[in-house]
Structure 1
């Protein structure tokens, strides 16, 4: 039995995003525990005044490398995912990613030393790179325009759920003595990948990918299943089928697609926008906060169970604050959401920097708890303000850049390059994730609170960049988005200000007010027919 409900299809596919979330908190909840620190200890063990040994674990640069290994693998996985997806299909590429994740998790769970741990995390990263690049493409090619943002944004929601669930599993395992305290959560990571693989068996392939492979009967069958409620003659199904057919015939007249295609004049602008969407999502500092939140809250005076529980609150905030974006991001539009998110994040980054600089002081030599990255101390009411500001920063990201950074890039590109284009964009995300994962522990050790200033400057830059260069794509068909960048003959359009592009979202009630009903035609900005099915009504 093949599943045809769009929400069920998306719910299964975005488990691939949950894998990344599981990885984040499988490290963040464990890196300060004594069982982890002692097992992967580098150098001599410290002894406190009472003669009790205190392990310091890996050096800051080595811990950064362990954390960043996953992102390094993800960069590679995202790049190769374009070839895998274009040749084997969106569905098969996601299934391959789930198998690789299980192999990596087995190696991590059995790790006997740091190199073995890094190898396992690189394999997990390859899996995450494949899934994070191709799940948005798969859902984008399935969804109608008015639900595309919501459905693709579910990937970010799955990431937040993965972070939260794995953190609490890891937290519970900290009460177990010995290496089982980190081996159990690392082994549990395989469960969602197994569920993803099984679930994908019952999902259809992307109709647009099938069309590119001249499998037209299967393409029509998938459109009928997903959009036509079993009626192959549904007006929306017929219109969508003809539109896909027209686009495929036009694109076949172009040369074979390679990554070089993305840097030609007709593609360069949208490639730049898509790549920087993913780069900026990392330079917000959000994932660095997620990986190393225990360092930050330890510097704010929390310790023991209070440290772990207080850190977990941000994961709950992350899950809850993603929901409004899923519900209304198509109505809000991409540009306003990204700009307001950047303003909120830069505010709280600079606020934290000011609080740390004004009310904090350097930690004792060697850092708090002999962890060099915990190099600053702030206590009293100011420390509570730092914690609150961190929570608000997470909320600002979760409702804006978190989901939109996955929704936006696949919308920018035509069918013939979409798989490789989103792979390139996502690989940029992972390249910067790798750099920041490696950079943050040594940065905290050397420049302490000034790390907040660095991320605050990045948030300021991204706000300006979005305003001047990122066009609005909400409410448009994937084919209609093409008119933002090229004229009907395919010649690049130059000089169209991004801030003059508009959100074309219309709810079901709004369409009925202007005379549109199910199956009626509506003209997009390029004059192309835009069809709305009953399922796209809100």
Structure 2
């Protein structure tokens, strides 16, 4: 067990004085092009968001229920969970494709599988066929979702990295919104196309990626790891400095990447799965990753996300149109405030956002529990309506950031992916992110099976379980989460690995790379890695 998380200084020692601030990024054609490429990667998350919201909406469609013999209990749990079981099946393979063949190859492989799977899902004529298609969707999603956010982190302009990666999970809601309003719009279709149309639209993000992925640059870090340093330098220069290879920022980034990879090869040569638990720094990373993965699914959010119609029925809202309408409005609301949170994560910091988020979720979940209990025991309609309001306020904390009474209330949604990716060193990034996704999927599958059964058996009392769990989350986040605001990936790694590894990284930077910062920045005569050492010492 460790003490309270380290609180670090808020200034960016690495690249802050090297970033070009002479004009806004949208006036730089190559940064615009790079951010469009990043946007194409970000929509990977929309497929996952679409799936959860679609399954929620389908449960309110009489046509879907009739087609699959009104599933309930374990059968309904399997229909919801099977996509994530498919994800689990792919986890042993996805990091090897991402590390071995490249981030882009993994994305296109996953997108292709999802395109095929959605065709099968749309054409389903039996429960077995529908379940098999959803399994394949999850299998393909793992390859794309394991590589896309990593590639975003590794190609983004330094000052855009945290907001761009944070937006990855935020775009879950774009898919969720499309699914919610598609199922609302097809409600009055009298045939099976009421649910086949939403099933077919699920392929849209993957189809876009299959056709446009070829325009996205490969990760400079991955290229360097394969000895293709010239390509890596060309990509960094083209997108980050308008083609100028001597730009101080490009020199700094390239030096850090080479030094870190050289360090990984010579000092941490064994980068197998066991490396995740071999050193104190990696064990700290693993503890945090697994915790926030479970927190992201066990905070009560998936009780609402996957079984909203069951909860609405329990509080007296039984009209399918009303259920679908609330689902659609809630997803738009979540999307807007999650985007705001993702864009502000570098201004506020990760640790304050996580702490405020867990406290806010705890408060409003307690209020939800109270409203649910009052309605269940007395039938009070006002309590039911207040319960709906508490759902929106709960998601304001879980999903993102909003301003209320001059306080910042924030989010798990934009941060869980960006924080996980940035605390992992290059050699372990794909494997570590796979462990994170594996943990997240396990927690999600458990929820999808247990929630409908427990809700039927315990009613409002099941909410008390989440009240206790949220209290535990607050304590864990307060004690163990480390601030990583405004740091390069290599500087963040040093915060976990300590002075000794930072010393070795600095030595490799000086001996093996021979790259120096431009004379116009002579006030930064030390190698970037030496700044890391001073940061750790402080």
TM-score norm. by structure 2 comes to 0.84
Distance 1:269 1:26 in 2: 37
Show structure 2 runs of 5+ residues with no match.
Answer: 1-28, 401-410, 504-519, 534-538
Aligned to 1:47: none
Show structure 1 runs of 5+ residues with no match.
Answer: 42-56, 362-376, 493-516, 531-538
2:337 equivalent to 1:321 = yes
1:25–1:145 CA distance, 2 compared to 1 (3 A): same
1:134–1:455 CA distance, 2 compared to 1 (3 A): farther
Given that 1:64 and 1:437 are in contact with CA atoms closer than 8 Å, whether structure 2 keeps it comes out as yes
What do residues 48-94 of structure 1 show as CA deviations (whole Å, max 9, x unaligned)? xxxxxxxxx11211101110111111233344221110011111111
From 409, 420, 423, the equivalent of 2:431 is 420
Given that 1:346 and 1:456 are in contact with CA atoms closer than 8 Å, whether structure 2 keeps it comes out as yes
1:147–1:384 CA distance, 2 compared to 1 (3 A): same
Given that 1:147 and 1:330 are in contact with CA atoms closer than 8 Å, whether structure 2 keeps it comes out as no
Distance 1:222 1:428 in 2: 34
Aligned to 2:397: 396
Distance 1:522 1:189 in 2: 52
What do residues 257-294 of structure 1 show as CA deviations (whole Å, max 9, x unaligned)? 21111111241111111121211111112233111112
2:202 equivalent to 1:184 = no
What do residues 346-368 of structure 1 show as CA deviations (whole Å, max 9, x unaligned)? 1111111112222314xxxxxxx
From 174, 177, 194, the equivalent of 2:187 is 174
Output aligned runs, 1:150-165, within 5 Å. Answer: 150-165=163-178
Q: How many residues end up aligned between the 2 structures?
A: 477
Output aligned runs, 1:52-201, within 5 Å. Answer: 57-201=70-214
2:261 equivalent to 1:261 = no
2:292 equivalent to 1:277 = yes
What do residues 277-317 of structure 1 show as CA deviations (whole Å, max 9, x unaligned)? 21111111223311111222222222132221122221111
3-state secondary structure, aligned to 1:416: helix
Distance 2:302 2:525 in 1: 41
How far the C-alpha of 1:8 sits from its partner, in A, is 1.3
From 528, 532, 536, the equivalent of 2:531 is 528
1:317–1:107 CA distance, 2 compared to 1 (3 A): same
Given that 2:349 and 2:483 are in contact with CA atoms closer than 8 Å, whether structure 1 keeps it comes out as yes
From 284, 287, 303, the equivalent of 2:302 is 287
Distance 1:189 1:522 in 2: 52
1:386–1:221 CA distance, 2 compared to 1 (3 A): same
What do residues 215-262 of structure 1 show as CA deviations (whole Å, max 9, x unaligned)? 011101110122111212211111211111111111111324211111
Deviates more, 1:450-459 or 1:319-328: 450-459
Output aligned runs, 1:289-304, within 5 Å. Answer: 289-302=304-317, 303-304=319-320
Given that 1:80 and 1:423 are in contact with CA atoms closer than 8 Å, whether structure 2 keeps it comes out as no
What do residues 125-150 of structure 1 show as CA deviations (whole Å, max 9, x unaligned)? 12222232222211111234432221
What do residues 417-437 of structure 1 show as CA deviations (whole Å, max 9, x unaligned)? 111111111111111111111
How far the C-alpha of 1:473 sits from its partner, in A, is 1.0
2:290 equivalent to 1:242 = no
2:324 equivalent to 1:308 = yes
Aligned to 1:534: none
Runs (4+) off by over 4 Å: 1-4, 517-526
Distance 1:419 1:14 in 2: 17
Distance 1:468 1:522 in 2: 36
Aligned to 1:338: 354
TM-score norm. by structure 1 comes to 0.84
3-state secondary structure, aligned to 2:274: helix
1:154–1:78 CA distance, 2 compared to 1 (3 A): farther
